[in-house]
Amino acid sequence: MGVTADSNTERLSHLTAYVLSLDGNGRPLQDDGVWGRLFLQLSHQAGCVKAAAAAFGAAYESSLNDAIVNSPATSSWRYYGSALARLQSDLTDETADPEALALASMVLACVEILSQHEQNAFTHFLGAVQILTRTYQRRQGAPSSDILGHIKDELVKVNLSIGSYALAQTPALILRTMNT
């Protein structure tokens, strides 16, 4: 069973999967990790992950097009607002798995990093940590604890990235030549 979305949301979601699966030099990551099959699977199964992926894709595209990313009127911020509302709704209603909620929160942190709002990114990061901590404590030894372990490892990397971006600046974008 998949999450249905319009063609633009699908396109932005696929752009996100591609961008997040690259290393700092624009090459595919060597390990599958969170941004490989796990991300693709959850983005097709969980609406909050699909919405967050579309928000990242829109923010990434806006950055590539030199659009004004801070303007609330841009489509990237409309996608972001929609993704945030979906994440809050899924969290409150408990309609998505904790892994999906944490991953969506991590992707929204990436949107904030692209927009150079590191403090907001840190808030999303903390939300993902809280979701995973609660879940991990309840599920130790369960089959899904392996997935949680992968996401936890990725959170450490995201935290390091947020810290380095906050001290410096958002890195140069890597897909300047990609036409989607």
Give pLDDT, residue 151: 65
Burial of 24 per CB tally in 10 Å (0-12, 13-18, 19+):
exposed
In 3D space, the residue among 12, 88, 103 whose CA is nearest the CA of residue 54 turns out to be 12
Burial of 68 per CB tally in 10 Å (0-12, 13-18, 19+):
exposed
* Helix (H) or strand (E) segment spanning residue 112: helix 98-114
User: Is the separation of the CB atoms in 54 and 16 below 8 Å?
Assistant: yes
Classify each residue of 128-150 as buried b or exposed e, where b means 16 or more C-beta atoms within 10 Å of its C-beta: bbebbeebbeeeeeeeeeebbeb
Give pLDDT, residue 166: 47
Give pLDDT, residue 152: 63
User: Amino acid identity of 116?
Assistant: Q
What stretches in the chain show pLDDT beneath 50? 1, 68-69, 72-73, 165-171, 175-180
Give pLDDT, residue 125: 84
Give pLDDT, residue 89: 95
